[in-house]
Amino acid sequence: MNMLFVFKLVLVLLLLFILVNLARALFVMVKGEKSVPMSQYLGRRVLFSVLVIMLLLVALATGVIAPNPRPY
């Protein structure tokens, strides 16, 4: 498999996991359940958001992905 394809696949999966945790936190907030704290899901979302940013920075530094040379 191509390294870029694997990197993009990992990013997409992490972003989907972030959205799932955000949705689960929404359902806990709306239903008012006390079994699992909403902060657990929001904390996971923040943790994986930081992981996505770190992966992007490492990929930029190592040359796996290249920034757009002409952003306009």
Per-residue model confidence (pLDDT) at position 71: 76
Whether 1 has a pLDDT exceeding 70, the answer reads no
Domain map (residue ranges) of the chain = 9-62
pLDDT of residue 72: 79
Separation CA 43–CA 51 (nearest Å): 12
pLDDT for the residue numbered 2: 84
Tens-digit pLDDT profile for residues 9-32? 999 999 999 999 999 989 888 988
- Residue written as token pair 């992905």: 65
Query: Is the model's pTM score more than 0.85?
Result: no
The pLDDT value recorded for residue 53 is: 95
Question: H helices of the chain, where?
Answer: 3-31, 38-62
